Structure 1
Amino acid sequence: MDEVYPSEEVTYQAHLLIGDKVNRSLMESKQLVSTDIEEILPEEYELKAAYPNPFNPSTKLEYTLPVQSEVECTIFDLSGNIVKEFFFNQYTGTHSVTWNADQYSSGIYLVRFTAKAVDGTNSFVDYQKVTLLK
């Protein structure tokens, strides 16, 4: 065991079981990487900055969801007209949507991002300005 697992906890425990004297200070201290799912998942809603911005012809909107949510991403022109809408039902985690604006004219557009927890406990709204340059 010493050759395969020289500094593992299991090696130390095996030596104790068979009655060997082991100097614990000689064992390397190793910290395990956490696999706790709670530490990996986001804790709050967030709409990250669109990238690229300014853009031509497409931009990516990335966001995080702390719980399963109904997501609505609406893009408006400066006159307040809806030019594009995206709807999703998504699980906890980081997601993205890409807006391909090749059929729209250059200008400033407003993104409204809304997320509502499917269990009704949380909701989130954020706005972002994006610029299409052709």
Structure 2
Amino acid sequence: MTWETLEPTRGKLERSLAQGIQALYRSLLGHQTSQALCNLLDNKLIIVIENGLTQPEKLLAQNGQEDLALQVRTQLESALELPLKELIQKILGVGVTDLLSDATLETGRTGTIAILEYPPKFRDSSSNSKTQPKTAES
């Protein structure tokens, strides 16, 4: 068995990240999200979390305190930044240079774009060769 056959596929990495993010929300926020979706695109990781707002954020928003709910969300995102970066680095084996996050009170979705130091390595699901995501130049 060669190293290439031991490398995970892009889909496996994306699923592992999604599961890890949901576990992070449960352990740090005591909040169960309904779904986390992760997509790798070159040196970017796109994360969309369904039902990402906590109950206190929802309660504030429902009671006309949207500004306070957004302030709480900003503070939570700040508190989650380091653990999320560490999770991404652990799973992908690539450092995170920047995290860009936002949330929508109306839908309860949160979104994050992680800018990675470089594209992570993974094997193509149809072969055992190492691949990297295709770029515009490819």
Q: TM-score range by the shorter chain?
A: under 0.3
Q: Give the TM-score normalised by structure 1.
A: 0.25
Higher RCO, Cα 8 Å, sep 6+: 2
Q: Give the TM-score normalised by structure 2.
A: 0.24
Judging by fraction of residues, say which structure has more strand. 1
Judging by fraction of residues, say which structure has more helix. 2
Task: Pick the structure with greater CA Rg.
Answer: 1
